[in-house]
Amino acid sequence: MNKELTNDQIARFSRHLLLPEIGVKRQSKLCKGSILLVGAGGLGSPAALYLAAAGVGKLGFVDFDVVDSSNLHRQVIHNEHRTGLLKTVSAKMSCQLMNHNVQVECYNTPFSELNGLELVKQYDVVMDCSDNVTTRYLVNDACVLAGKPLVSGSAVKFEGQLTIYNYRRGETKGPCYRCLYPEPPPAATVTSCSDGGVLGIVPGIIGCLQALEAQKLLMEMDDEESVKNNCELLVQKMLLFNAKTCSFRCAKIRGRQVGCKVCGENPVITSLIPEGQSLVCTDKIASTPSDSLQSENRITAKEFEQIILKDSSNSNHILLDVRENIQYNIASVPHAVNFPLKKMEKPETIQAIKDEISKKSSSINDFPIYVMCRRGIASVSATKLLIQNGFTNVKNIDGGINSWRQQVDTNFPLY
Protein backbone atom coordinates (compact mmCIF):
# COMPACT_ATOMS: atom_id res chain seq x y z
CA MET A 1 0.00 0.00 0.00
CA ASN A 2 1.41 3.42 -1.01
CA LYS A 3 1.75 5.70 2.02
CA GLU A 4 2.89 8.86 0.23
CA LEU A 5 -0.22 9.34 -1.90
CA THR A 6 -3.88 8.63 -1.24
CA ASN A 7 -5.96 6.47 -3.57
CA ASP A 8 -7.65 9.61 -4.88
CA GLN A 9 -4.27 11.20 -5.63
CA ILE A 10 -3.04 8.05 -7.35
CA ALA A 11 -6.11 8.04 -9.59
CA ARG A 12 -6.00 11.78 -10.27
CA PHE A 13 -2.27 12.00 -11.04
CA SER A 14 -1.81 8.58 -12.62
CA ARG A 15 -0.46 10.04 -15.87
CA HIS A 16 2.27 11.76 -13.86
CA LEU A 17 3.02 8.60 -11.91
CA LEU A 18 3.55 6.63 -15.11
CA LEU A 19 6.42 8.91 -16.07
CA PRO A 20 9.71 7.40 -14.79
CA GLU A 21 11.12 10.91 -14.36
CA ILE A 22 8.35 11.74 -11.87
CA GLY A 23 6.79 8.72 -10.20
CA VAL A 24 5.39 8.65 -6.68
CA LYS A 25 8.37 10.38 -5.09
CA ARG A 26 8.22 13.57 -7.14
CA GLN A 27 4.42 13.75 -7.30
CA SER A 28 4.45 13.59 -3.52
CA LYS A 29 6.80 16.58 -3.47
CA LEU A 30 4.33 18.49 -5.64
CA CYS A 31 1.44 17.68 -3.34
CA LYS A 32 3.41 18.89 -0.32
CA GLY A 33 4.88 21.96 -2.03
CA SER A 34 3.78 25.57 -2.06
CA ILE A 35 4.02 28.36 -4.63
CA LEU A 36 3.39 32.09 -4.29
CA LEU A 37 2.11 33.83 -7.42
CA VAL A 38 2.65 37.59 -7.46
CA GLY A 39 -0.09 38.62 -9.85
CA ALA A 40 -3.32 36.88 -10.83
CA GLY A 41 -3.46 38.30 -14.34
CA GLY A 42 -2.25 37.26 -17.77
CA LEU A 43 0.70 35.18 -16.56
CA GLY A 44 -0.72 34.05 -13.24
CA SER A 45 -4.00 32.82 -14.74
CA PRO A 46 -2.77 29.90 -16.87
CA ALA A 47 0.05 29.15 -14.44
CA ALA A 48 -2.30 28.80 -11.49
CA LEU A 49 -4.73 26.53 -13.31
CA TYR A 50 -1.98 24.12 -14.29
CA LEU A 51 -0.40 24.23 -10.85
CA ALA A 52 -3.74 23.39 -9.24
CA ALA A 53 -4.36 20.65 -11.79
CA ALA A 54 -0.89 19.20 -11.17
CA GLY A 55 -1.63 18.85 -7.46
CA VAL A 56 0.55 21.55 -5.90
CA GLY A 57 -0.45 21.55 -2.24
CA LYS A 58 -0.69 25.28 -1.57
CA LEU A 59 -1.02 28.33 -3.79
CA GLY A 60 -0.88 31.95 -2.70
CA PHE A 61 -2.11 34.88 -4.81
CA VAL A 62 -0.90 38.45 -4.29
CA ASP A 63 -3.03 40.95 -6.22
CA PHE A 64 -5.10 43.97 -5.22
CA ASP A 65 -6.91 44.44 -8.54
CA VAL A 66 -10.43 43.47 -9.56
CA VAL A 67 -11.56 41.62 -12.68
CA ASP A 68 -12.28 43.94 -15.60
CA SER A 69 -13.66 43.10 -19.03
CA SER A 70 -10.37 44.26 -20.60
CA ASN A 71 -8.63 41.40 -18.74
CA LEU A 72 -10.66 38.58 -20.20
CA HIS A 73 -8.91 38.15 -23.56
CA ARG A 74 -5.86 36.80 -21.73
CA GLN A 75 -6.66 36.22 -18.04
CA VAL A 76 -8.43 32.91 -18.50
CA ILE A 77 -8.80 32.12 -14.81
CA HIS A 78 -11.55 34.78 -14.65
CA ASN A 79 -14.83 35.12 -16.54
CA GLU A 80 -17.60 37.60 -17.39
CA HIS A 81 -19.66 36.71 -14.33
CA ARG A 82 -16.79 37.74 -12.03
CA THR A 83 -16.30 41.26 -13.37
CA GLY A 84 -15.70 43.53 -10.38
CA LEU A 85 -14.64 40.65 -8.14
CA LEU A 86 -11.18 40.63 -6.57
CA LYS A 87 -8.80 38.73 -8.83
CA THR A 88 -7.44 36.73 -5.92
CA VAL A 89 -10.94 35.54 -5.00
CA SER A 90 -11.77 34.69 -8.60
CA ALA A 91 -8.48 32.80 -8.97
CA LYS A 92 -9.16 30.84 -5.79
CA MET A 93 -12.63 29.86 -7.03
CA SER A 94 -11.25 28.59 -10.35
CA CYS A 95 -8.38 26.66 -8.77
CA GLN A 96 -10.63 24.94 -6.27
CA LEU A 97 -13.12 24.06 -9.01
CA MET A 98 -10.18 22.41 -10.75
CA ASN A 99 -8.88 20.68 -7.61
CA HIS A 100 -10.76 20.98 -4.33
CA ASN A 101 -7.77 19.65 -2.41
CA VAL A 102 -5.52 22.59 -3.20
CA GLN A 103 -5.12 25.10 -0.39
CA VAL A 104 -5.39 28.67 -1.67
CA GLU A 105 -4.44 31.84 0.22
CA CYS A 106 -5.52 35.28 -0.99
CA TYR A 107 -3.51 38.42 -0.27
CA ASN A 108 -5.62 41.32 -1.52
CA THR A 109 -2.83 43.87 -1.39
CA PRO A 110 0.06 45.12 -3.49
CA PHE A 111 3.37 43.31 -3.01
CA SER A 112 5.30 45.94 -1.10
CA GLU A 113 8.32 46.67 1.07
CA LEU A 114 6.12 46.16 4.11
CA ASN A 115 4.72 42.70 3.35
CA GLY A 116 6.97 41.21 0.66
CA LEU A 117 9.54 39.40 2.73
CA GLU A 118 7.01 37.81 5.08
CA LEU A 119 4.91 36.60 2.16
CA VAL A 120 7.85 35.04 0.35
CA LYS A 121 9.12 33.24 3.45
CA GLN A 122 5.91 31.17 3.64
CA TYR A 123 6.38 29.46 0.24
CA ASP A 124 8.84 27.08 -1.42
CA VAL A 125 8.86 28.75 -4.83
CA VAL A 126 7.87 32.25 -5.96
CA MET A 127 6.51 33.17 -9.38
CA ASP A 128 6.73 36.74 -10.64
CA CYS A 129 3.59 37.16 -12.72
CA SER A 130 3.47 40.93 -12.27
CA ASP A 131 3.34 43.58 -14.95
CA ASN A 132 5.45 46.41 -13.57
CA VAL A 133 9.12 47.06 -12.90
CA THR A 134 8.71 48.21 -9.30
CA THR A 135 7.22 44.87 -8.29
CA ARG A 136 9.89 42.94 -10.18
CA TYR A 137 12.66 44.52 -8.13
CA LEU A 138 10.79 44.04 -4.86
CA VAL A 139 9.97 40.39 -5.57
CA ASN A 140 13.55 39.70 -6.61
CA ASP A 141 15.04 41.28 -3.51
CA ALA A 142 12.57 39.53 -1.21
CA CYS A 143 13.42 36.17 -2.80
CA VAL A 144 17.16 36.74 -2.37
CA LEU A 145 16.74 37.78 1.26
CA ALA A 146 14.50 34.78 1.97
CA GLY A 147 16.57 32.32 -0.08
CA LYS A 148 13.73 31.36 -2.44
CA PRO A 149 13.95 30.53 -6.15
CA LEU A 150 12.07 32.94 -8.42
CA VAL A 151 10.42 31.92 -11.70
CA SER A 152 10.09 35.14 -13.65
CA GLY A 153 8.05 35.68 -16.81
CA SER A 154 6.97 38.62 -18.91
CA ALA A 155 4.85 39.17 -22.01
CA VAL A 156 4.35 42.31 -24.09
CA LYS A 157 2.98 42.69 -27.60
CA PHE A 158 3.97 39.50 -29.49
CA GLU A 159 6.92 38.51 -27.32
CA GLY A 160 7.54 36.75 -24.05
CA GLN A 161 10.48 35.67 -21.95
CA LEU A 162 11.14 33.38 -19.02
CA THR A 163 13.95 32.44 -16.64
CA ILE A 164 14.69 31.30 -13.08
CA TYR A 165 16.40 33.77 -10.77
CA ASN A 166 18.13 33.21 -7.44
CA TYR A 167 18.71 29.50 -7.99
CA ARG A 168 20.92 28.19 -5.17
CA ARG A 169 21.39 24.44 -5.12
CA GLY A 170 24.67 22.61 -4.81
CA GLU A 171 27.51 24.46 -6.46
CA THR A 172 25.23 26.25 -8.92
CA LYS A 173 24.42 29.84 -8.07
CA GLY A 174 22.31 31.50 -10.70
CA PRO A 175 21.88 35.26 -11.04
CA CYS A 176 19.16 37.34 -9.47
CA TYR A 177 17.26 40.01 -11.38
CA ARG A 178 19.63 42.72 -10.17
CA CYS A 179 22.63 40.80 -11.48
CA LEU A 180 21.27 41.46 -14.96
CA TYR A 181 19.57 44.80 -14.30
CA PRO A 182 21.29 46.51 -11.33
CA GLU A 183 19.22 49.70 -11.53
CA PRO A 184 15.63 50.39 -12.60
CA PRO A 185 15.34 51.74 -16.15
CA PRO A 186 14.01 55.22 -17.03
CA ALA A 187 10.21 55.37 -17.10
CA ALA A 188 10.16 56.23 -20.79
CA THR A 189 11.82 52.92 -21.71
CA VAL A 190 9.34 50.69 -19.86
CA THR A 191 6.39 49.27 -21.79
CA SER A 192 3.63 47.28 -20.11
CA CYS A 193 0.86 45.34 -21.83
CA SER A 194 -1.62 48.06 -20.78
CA ASP A 195 0.44 50.58 -22.75
CA GLY A 196 1.85 48.57 -25.64
CA GLY A 197 -0.81 45.88 -25.90
CA VAL A 198 -0.36 42.11 -25.89
CA LEU A 199 -1.67 39.22 -27.96
CA GLY A 200 -3.73 37.31 -25.42
CA ILE A 201 -2.21 33.89 -26.00
CA VAL A 202 1.38 35.10 -25.42
CA PRO A 203 1.06 35.46 -21.62
CA GLY A 204 -0.86 32.18 -21.74
CA ILE A 205 2.13 30.41 -23.25
CA ILE A 206 4.66 32.07 -20.94
CA GLY A 207 2.48 31.47 -17.88
CA CYS A 208 2.23 27.76 -18.70
CA LEU A 209 6.01 27.58 -19.04
CA GLN A 210 6.40 29.35 -15.71
CA ALA A 211 4.19 26.67 -14.17
CA LEU A 212 6.39 24.02 -15.78
CA GLU A 213 9.62 25.40 -14.29
CA ALA A 214 7.99 25.94 -10.89
CA GLN A 215 6.81 22.31 -10.83
CA LYS A 216 10.30 21.10 -11.77
CA LEU A 217 11.72 23.11 -8.89
CA LEU A 218 9.24 21.60 -6.43
CA MET A 219 9.91 18.10 -7.76
CA GLU A 220 13.67 18.70 -7.47
CA MET A 221 14.23 17.75 -11.08
CA ASP A 222 17.79 19.02 -10.80
CA ASP A 223 19.14 16.09 -8.79
CA GLU A 224 21.56 13.49 -10.12
CA GLU A 225 18.80 11.13 -11.19
CA SER A 226 17.00 13.86 -13.15
CA VAL A 227 20.20 15.02 -14.82
CA LYS A 228 20.74 11.45 -16.04
CA ASN A 229 17.24 11.64 -17.52
CA ASN A 230 18.25 14.79 -19.45
CA CYS A 231 16.24 17.14 -17.24
CA GLU A 232 17.39 20.75 -16.97
CA LEU A 233 16.09 23.84 -15.23
CA LEU A 234 16.02 27.24 -16.91
CA VAL A 235 18.93 28.57 -14.87
CA GLN A 236 21.41 31.03 -16.38
CA LYS A 237 19.32 30.83 -19.54
CA MET A 238 16.57 33.06 -20.88
CA LEU A 239 13.82 31.48 -22.95
CA LEU A 240 12.54 33.91 -25.60
CA PHE A 241 9.27 33.45 -27.51
CA ASN A 242 8.17 35.29 -30.64
CA ALA A 243 4.53 34.81 -31.54
CA LYS A 244 4.91 36.42 -34.97
CA THR A 245 7.18 33.60 -36.10
CA CYS A 246 5.96 31.04 -33.54
CA SER A 247 9.57 30.46 -32.55
CA PHE A 248 11.52 29.86 -29.36
CA ARG A 249 15.18 30.45 -28.68
CA CYS A 250 17.23 30.06 -25.54
CA ALA A 251 19.96 32.58 -24.76
CA LYS A 252 22.66 32.17 -22.16
CA ILE A 253 22.66 34.93 -19.55
CA ARG A 254 25.37 36.00 -17.15
CA GLY A 255 25.74 34.23 -13.83
CA ARG A 256 25.62 35.61 -10.33
CA GLN A 257 27.58 38.86 -10.00
CA VAL A 258 29.87 39.15 -6.99
CA GLY A 259 29.25 42.89 -6.93
CA CYS A 260 25.44 42.60 -6.98
CA LYS A 261 23.74 44.89 -4.48
CA VAL A 262 21.53 42.17 -3.07
CA CYS A 263 23.05 38.74 -3.79
CA GLY A 264 26.74 39.65 -4.15
CA GLU A 265 29.63 39.01 -1.78
CA ASN A 266 29.10 42.30 0.07
CA PRO A 267 25.42 43.15 -0.37
CA VAL A 268 24.23 46.65 0.46
CA ILE A 269 20.57 45.62 0.40
CA THR A 270 19.90 43.55 3.50
CA SER A 271 16.29 44.58 4.11
CA LEU A 272 13.35 45.58 1.94
CA ILE A 273 13.29 48.94 3.76
CA PRO A 274 16.85 49.92 4.70
CA GLU A 275 16.65 52.89 7.05
CA GLY A 276 13.08 53.54 6.01
CA GLN A 277 13.92 54.30 2.37
CA SER A 278 12.58 52.28 -0.53
CA LEU A 279 15.32 50.16 -2.07
CA VAL A 280 13.79 50.12 -5.55
CA CYS A 281 14.27 53.84 -6.14
CA THR A 282 10.71 54.12 -7.37
CA ASP A 283 11.31 57.69 -8.49
CA LYS A 284 13.32 56.24 -11.38
CA ILE A 285 10.61 53.91 -12.57
CA ALA A 286 7.40 55.58 -11.53
CA SER A 287 5.45 57.44 -14.17
CA THR A 288 6.06 61.17 -14.31
CA PRO A 289 3.33 62.81 -12.20
CA SER A 290 1.47 65.90 -13.33
CA ASP A 291 2.55 67.67 -10.15
CA SER A 292 6.00 67.99 -11.70
CA LEU A 293 4.45 70.85 -13.70
CA GLN A 294 3.71 74.36 -12.51
CA SER A 295 0.08 75.00 -11.59
CA GLU A 296 -0.35 77.37 -14.56
CA ASN A 297 0.49 74.44 -16.86
CA ARG A 298 -2.18 72.12 -15.48
CA ILE A 299 -5.92 71.78 -15.92
CA THR A 300 -8.49 69.14 -14.98
CA ALA A 301 -10.71 67.37 -17.50
CA LYS A 302 -13.74 69.09 -16.00
CA GLU A 303 -12.12 72.50 -16.38
CA PHE A 304 -11.24 71.71 -19.98
CA GLU A 305 -14.88 70.85 -20.64
CA GLN A 306 -15.74 74.45 -19.70
CA ILE A 307 -13.15 75.69 -22.20
CA ILE A 308 -14.86 73.68 -24.93
CA LEU A 309 -18.31 74.92 -23.98
CA LYS A 310 -17.15 78.54 -24.15
CA ASP A 311 -15.31 77.97 -27.42
CA SER A 312 -17.83 75.87 -29.31
CA SER A 313 -16.30 76.83 -32.66
CA ASN A 314 -12.96 75.42 -31.52
CA SER A 315 -11.21 78.51 -32.87
CA ASN A 316 -9.57 79.90 -29.73
CA HIS A 317 -7.62 76.84 -28.61
CA ILE A 318 -6.05 73.63 -29.87
CA LEU A 319 -6.19 70.18 -28.27
CA LEU A 320 -3.17 67.97 -28.91
CA ASP A 321 -3.61 64.24 -28.38
CA VAL A 322 -0.09 62.81 -27.93
CA ARG A 323 -1.02 59.12 -27.86
CA GLU A 324 0.24 56.77 -30.55
CA ASN A 325 -1.92 56.83 -33.66
CA ILE A 326 -3.22 53.31 -33.05
CA GLN A 327 -4.62 54.43 -29.68
CA TYR A 328 -5.97 57.67 -31.13
CA ASN A 329 -7.91 55.64 -33.69
CA ILE A 330 -9.62 53.65 -30.94
CA ALA A 331 -11.30 56.75 -29.53
CA SER A 332 -10.56 60.46 -29.23
CA VAL A 333 -12.05 63.65 -27.80
CA PRO A 334 -13.78 65.75 -30.50
CA HIS A 335 -11.50 68.18 -32.41
CA ALA A 336 -8.32 66.67 -30.94
CA VAL A 337 -5.32 66.71 -33.28
CA ASN A 338 -2.96 63.73 -33.07
CA PHE A 339 0.76 64.40 -32.60
CA PRO A 340 2.36 61.33 -30.96
CA LEU A 341 4.86 62.11 -28.22
CA LYS A 342 7.58 60.03 -29.87
CA LYS A 343 7.58 62.40 -32.84
CA MET A 344 7.48 65.64 -30.89
CA GLU A 345 11.24 65.87 -30.44
CA LYS A 346 11.59 66.28 -34.19
CA PRO A 347 11.71 69.88 -35.48
CA GLU A 348 9.29 69.04 -38.28
CA THR A 349 6.65 67.98 -35.72
CA ILE A 350 6.99 71.26 -33.82
CA GLN A 351 6.65 73.08 -37.13
CA ALA A 352 3.56 71.01 -37.97
CA ILE A 353 2.01 72.08 -34.65
CA LYS A 354 2.77 75.71 -35.48
CA ASP A 355 1.20 75.24 -38.90
CA GLU A 356 -1.91 73.79 -37.26
CA ILE A 357 -2.15 76.78 -34.92
CA SER A 358 -1.62 79.22 -37.79
CA LYS A 359 -4.93 78.04 -39.23
CA LYS A 360 -6.59 79.59 -36.18
CA SER A 361 -4.37 82.51 -35.18
CA SER A 362 -1.39 84.60 -36.23
CA SER A 363 -0.18 84.57 -32.64
CA ILE A 364 1.56 81.21 -32.54
CA ASN A 365 3.63 80.96 -29.37
CA ASP A 366 1.02 82.22 -26.88
CA PHE A 367 -1.98 80.49 -28.46
CA PRO A 368 -3.77 78.26 -25.88
CA ILE A 369 -2.60 74.65 -26.24
CA TYR A 370 -4.13 71.79 -24.24
CA VAL A 371 -2.33 68.46 -24.15
CA MET A 372 -3.96 65.08 -23.55
CA CYS A 373 -2.89 61.43 -23.50
CA ARG A 374 -4.33 58.24 -22.06
CA ARG A 375 -3.53 58.69 -18.36
CA GLY A 376 -1.87 62.08 -18.10
CA ILE A 377 1.69 60.75 -18.16
CA ALA A 378 2.96 61.14 -21.72
CA SER A 379 1.18 64.48 -21.91
CA VAL A 380 3.37 65.81 -19.08
CA SER A 381 6.46 65.11 -21.15
CA ALA A 382 4.79 66.65 -24.20
CA THR A 383 3.85 69.77 -22.23
CA LYS A 384 7.44 70.22 -21.11
CA LEU A 385 8.70 69.76 -24.67
CA LEU A 386 6.31 72.40 -25.97
CA ILE A 387 7.39 74.86 -23.28
CA GLN A 388 11.04 74.19 -24.14
CA ASN A 389 10.22 75.00 -27.77
CA GLY A 390 8.91 78.45 -26.92
CA PHE A 391 5.17 77.89 -26.49
CA THR A 392 4.06 79.98 -23.53
CA ASN A 393 0.41 79.00 -23.03
CA VAL A 394 0.43 75.21 -22.63
CA LYS A 395 -1.69 73.20 -20.21
CA ASN A 396 -1.60 69.48 -19.46
CA ILE A 397 -4.98 67.80 -18.90
CA ASP A 398 -4.42 65.85 -15.69
CA GLY A 399 -5.34 62.17 -15.94
CA GLY A 400 -5.84 62.26 -19.71
CA ILE A 401 -8.77 60.55 -21.37
CA ASN A 402 -9.26 58.33 -18.32
CA SER A 403 -10.12 61.46 -16.32
CA TRP A 404 -12.21 62.72 -19.23
CA ARG A 405 -14.30 59.57 -18.97
CA GLN A 406 -14.61 59.86 -15.19
CA GLN A 407 -15.35 63.59 -14.99
CA VAL A 408 -17.02 64.49 -18.28
CA ASP A 409 -18.18 61.69 -20.58
CA THR A 410 -18.94 58.36 -18.90
CA ASN A 411 -19.75 56.85 -22.31
CA PHE A 412 -16.24 57.46 -23.60
CA PRO A 413 -14.64 54.07 -24.47
CA LEU A 414 -12.27 52.70 -21.85
CA TYR A 415 -9.40 50.54 -23.04
Q: Do 163 and 208 sit in the same domain of this protein?
A: yes
Catalytic residue, candidates 143, 193, 231, 246:
193
301 within domain boundaries: yes
Residue 97 lies in a domain: yes
According to the annotation, is 70 in a ligand binding site? yes
129 among annotated binding-site residues: no
**Looking at the structure, do residues 301 and 220 belong to the same domain, yes or no?**
no
Burial 56-88 (b: 16+ CB within 10 A, else e): bbbbbbbbeebbeeebbebbbbbeeebeeebbb
Q: pLDDT tens-digit profile of 261-301?
A: 999 999 999 999 764 444 554 434 444 456 679 999 999 99
Check whether 405 is labelled as a binding-site residue.
no
Q: What is the pLDDT of residues 332-377, one digit of tens each?
A: 999 999 999 999 989 999 999 999 999 999 899 999 999 999 999 9
The number of domains in the chain is 2
Count of CB atoms within 10 A of residue 192's CB? 14
Three-state SS at 341: helix
CATH of the domain at 38: 3.40.50.720
131 plus 187 within the same structural domain: yes
277 part of a folded domain: no
Residue 28 lies in a domain: no
193 as an active site residue: the answer is: yes
N-term to C-term CA, the chain: 56
Is 42 among the annotated ligand-binding positions?
A: yes
Our answer to whether residue 31 is catalytic in this structure is no
Other Cβ atoms less than 10 A from the Cβ of 106: the count is 18
Residues 118 and 204 in one domain: yes
Contact 66, 85 (CB under 8 A): yes
Residues forming a β-bridge with 239: 162, 250
For residues 331, 329, 388, 317, the Cα torsion angle rounded to the nearest 10 degrees is -60
Q: Does the annotation list 154 as a binding residue?
A: no
| Whether residue 234 is found in the same domain as residue 337 | no
Q: Are residues 320 and 174 in the same domain?
A: no
> Which SS3 state, helix, strand or coil, does residue 67 take?
coil
Q: Which of 31, 95, 129, 373 is catalytic?
A: 373
The helix (H) or strand (E) run that includes residue 163 is: strand 159-165
Q: pLDDT tens digits, residue range 92-150?
A: 999 999 999 999 999 999 999 999 999 999 999 999 999 899 999 999 999 999 999 99
Does one domain contain both 334 and 224?
no
The verdict on 240 and 315 lying in the same domain is: no
* 73 marked ligand binding residue: yes
Residue 327: give the domain boundaries. 289-408
Q: Which of 204, 225, 252 is the last residue of a domain?
A: 252
Last residue of a domain, one of 252, 280, 304: 252
72 is in an annotated binding site: yes
Do 245 and 297 fall into the same domain? Answer: no
Nearest to 214 by CA among 112, 127, 277: 127
